[in-house]
Amino acid sequence: MSIVTNKLGALALLLGATLALVQPAQAIPAFARKYGLPCSACHEAWPKLNSFGQTFKDEGYQLNNDRDAPFYQNPAYWPVAMRITPHWHFEGNSRVASDVVPGDGTSGQQQSTINASGFDLPGIDILTGGTLAKNISFLLVPSIESDSGTISFESAWVRLDRLHGSPWLNFKFGKFELDLPISEKRIMTLSNNGGFYQLYHFLPPGDVTPTSMGDNQLGAELLGHSADDHTRYALSLLSSSDGELGLPGGRSYDGYFHLSQAFLLPHLGLQRVGAYGYVGLAPTFLLTSDGVPIPGSGRGNRSFYRAGAYASFYLGRFDFTGLVQRASDNVFLANATAANQTLPDGAQSPVWNTGTLEAHYTYSPQLVFIGRYELVRMTRQALATNPGDFANLDAFTLGYRYYPFMHSRAGLAWHQEVATVRSKLTSLNGQDQRSTSVFMGFDFAF
């Protein structure tokens, strides 16, 4: 099965197209309304959670003050919130492969700079969540894509909380965001280049491994935490479909774990260190009928992994997270080759390291500055003939969010951001490519 052809420009496409779909979700004024809390009670700066918000989430969207069960609510209360971000953005992409004669695919290719700008909308998320009963929580997030109008399910899960009365045992089932070291659904930056984590999405050019840890996954999760939420763990068993419905691949599963420990440093606040790992299996080809792939008939499973460790530190109003990850994909997945076919010469399974440093300066709950630097360094290329630094990547994002008011009915932020990504030697002529976004807009939820 040839899923994507191994093209050098694939990276630029990957950044431009698929990531426009990456959409932050969680910021749920329905909870604020239910409990009468201002956004700032749960969010260090919306959508990033503080320790109170994290505990609330870990308790299954419950405060445990016995007002959690839905019948404490006015019957007119409906746990629904919506979030959208009308914005203006600029996207600049250098050395994009384009036909010499537009419209004529046989005219040969050249490198072009493509700059676009204008007013835009992302998709819209309809966030519904809360409790079905005391200690049974749920989240359902239908989202409407802005371009196609299609509706998809960003999240849909039920969680049984406090099994045997213990915070250590909770069971989640459905489609959900993994308990990631840094939440991508609660990312503080929104642009095409800055609105996602390279660490979750990066694949070497030509690699077709169907995974990005940042996307919501289908599966079941056992998770828990100590009474003070300082020790947290999550163990997930997932369909290896990267959250796609309808069992497209077959019957392989992925596994994920995350363990973290927080400790309180006097005068500094809560610091957290953690480690995680993701191991997956993905089919490299499908059986076909008359040449047409038969859905769900995935064969030739090959594996991949991601493993990392991180630390989050608070220093007064400043917090930063540093994260290192090692990743590798099987040689067949990395070279888009079916496991029953011959590999190209020099094919090997690629290995790469990523580093992420994210810093926030929360001047007040109404003004936050965000800086992030991510790098990807290949340590082994998918093809031995590739230069050693091929597809190495540096991504930098700077932005701020200003919240003109803070109450418990709605949230509004003015958001400005610049993000730029450089990938080494990936252009048609083997030169570096750069992709830059400038983004400003109103992010609101109610």
Residue written as token pair 């993000």: 419
Residue 37 sits in the site that holds other proteins (CB under 8 A) = yes
Give CA separation, 207 vs 138, 231, 354, 445, in Å.
35, 36, 16, 37
22-51: contacts with ligand HEC (CB under 6 A): 35-37
Is the link from the previous residue into 47 a cis peptide, with omega within 30 of 0? yes
Q: How far is the CB of 317 from other proteins (least distance, A)?
A: 5
Distance from the Cα of residue 101 to its chain's centroid: 37
Q: Which one of residues 13, 21, 52, 341 is an interface residue with other proteins (CB under 8 A)?
A: 52
Q: Which one of residues 7, 162, 299, 326 is an interface residue with other proteins (CB under 8 A)?
A: 162
Q: Which one of residues 138, 157, 314, 390 is an interface residue with other proteins (CB under 8 A)?
A: 314
Residue 398 sits in the site that holds other proteins (CB under 8 A) = yes
Nearest to other proteins of 297, 321 (CB atom)? 321
Q: Residues 81, 28: contact at Cβ < 8 Å?
A: yes
By DSSP bridging, strand 217-225 and strand 231-239 are: antiparallel
Nearest to ligand HEC of 35, 400 (CB atom)? 35
Length of the chain: 446
Residue 94 CA to residue 123 CA, distance in Å, equals 26
Nearest to other proteins of 7, 317 (CB atom)? 317
**What letters, b where the CB count within 10 A reaches 16 and e where it falls short, cover 14-27?**
bbbeebbebbbbbb
Residue 91 CA to residue 2 CA, distance in Å, equals 30
Residue 64 sits in the site that holds other proteins (CB under 8 A) = yes
Question: 207 is in the binding site of which of ligand HEC, other proteins, none (Cβ under 5 to 8 A by kind)?
Answer: none
Q: Which one of residues 233, 339, 365, 416 is an interface residue with other proteins (CB under 8 A)?
A: 365
Residue 395 CA to residue 229 CA, distance in Å, equals 32
Interface with ligand HEC (CB under 6 A): 35-37
Interface with other proteins (CB under 8 A): 35-38, 40-41, 44, 50-52, 54-55, 63-67, 135, 162, 164-166, 227-229, 264, 266-270, 314-318, 320, 357, 359, 361-366, 369, 371, 373, 375, 394, 396, 398, 407-408, 422
